[in-house]
Amino acid sequence: MKDIAESRARLAGLFNITVTPFDSDGAIDKAGLARSVERVIGLGYDGILIGGTYGEFPAMSADERADLFRTVMDIVGDRVPVMLCSAGSDARTVRDLTALAGDLGGLPMVTPPYVSEVTDGQIVSFFEEMAPLSKTGILVYNAPGIGITLQPDVLERLADVPDVVGVKQGDLSVAVIDRIANRLSGRIRLFCASDLAFLGPMMAGFDGISSTNSCALPELILATYRALEAGDAATARDLHRLWYPFRALARRHGQPQTTKAAMALRGFDGGHVRPPLRDLEAPAIAEVAEALQALAAEPRARVTLA
């Protein structure tokens, strides 16, 4: 993407949150990463997200993240829009990665600064500082999982920042989604941050969703999204119900390790996780295999096993 206008025009639909495949020595498996990216683009995904929380960015150095950005943009080119997570606890790193992501033609995804007792005003100032650094604008990631939840009134203030293209919303409580959908829709792009429960936000008027589990179940999640996009809520509901057992395992065993285990069982390139995460052990892998086998027996799921 070349500028903010193009980012706003193209930022919609189903984005795959591509996991970062590490080999047994901890190095990034770039060939495996390329295969994962090509798989979802080939299936018809609208975009991808690289190096996010489920891409394990906190376990990578700034240089590794910059190299990851360049590698993926070389693979993708301009075929689909790419979100590049430039979040961090050090504002200097965020500045550098945000500028790089925009220069490469990606859309930087920035979280609020996760430091002790930061005020709403300081958070808004932080985004006002970061947004102009990228020629493509920025995507605000409201990520409760890292410890700071942006309240709707703060998101409304951020929607007025000229270079903020959208928000990836991780707080999916009903009242919050209702307020955001009705007060921010049309002002900035609205993305649901979780595929575990995305039907509600999409029905409320969100513009898209980012999905980690689509690394393991790309066909099923794509079919679910396309049904919802076409106005067939009943089919979307039924397809979403098919993989509830898998979602339950993801909640129990954690992400991205559950997704990576499922990818391995399907012959995909999930690779390993990096510490402090740990790969799933044999009993948990057996549970994941059982869930996948049940999906493979259901024609509507379109899941095949290795």
Tell me, yes or no, if 168 is annotated catalytic. Answer: yes
Task: Give the H/E segment covering residue 109.
Answer: strand 107-110
Q: Which of 54, 141, 225, 260 is catalytic?
A: 141
Residues in the chain: 306
15, 210 contact by CB (below 8 A): yes
Q: Which 3 state secondary structure label does DSSP give 83?
A: strand
179, 142 contact by CB (below 8 A): no
Structure tokens at 279: 């790969």
What's the rounded Cα separation, in Å, for the pair 14 and 214? 10
Contacts of 187 (CB under 8 A, 6+ apart): 159
Q: Which of 45, 168, 225, 260 is catalytic?
A: 168
Tell me, yes or no, if 141 is annotated catalytic. Answer: yes
What's the rounded Cα separation, in Å, for the pair 82 and 105? 8
Nearest to 108 by CA among 124, 89, 127: 127
Structure tokens at 139: 């995507």
Annotated catalytic residues are 141, 168
